[in-house]
Amino acid sequence: MEMWGEPSEHSTAAYLYSDILAEDLKRIEANRKLEDAEQMERLFAKWNEGSAQDAKAPNVPARKGLFARLFGR
């Protein structure tokens, strides 16, 4: 006996619309790959930009902190 009057066999959306589900999964995977590729491009662009700036930066002595100035170290 069913307590809530539900049918004994359920059908899910994945079963009824398996082709739509497959297309959605393909679209989600393609979007994820595209986002990953964009993130890698930005990462390498920043990395290359940073290494180019490091090569151009002159050697500037580090600033002395407050205690180094007070105690001469």
Confidence band of 35 (pLDDT split at 50, 70, 90): very high
Nearest to 34 by CA among 23, 44, 22, 26: 26
Given a cut of 90, is residue 52 above it in pLDDT? Answer: no
The Cβ-side half-sphere exposure at 67, using a 13 Å CA radius, reads 0
CA distances from 23 to 14, 36, 39, 68 (A): 12, 20, 24, 65
Structure tokens given for 58: 């002159």
3-state secondary structure of 54: helix
- Residue range 20-30, pLDDT digits in tens: 888 999 999 99
- Supply the pTM of this predicted model: 0.46
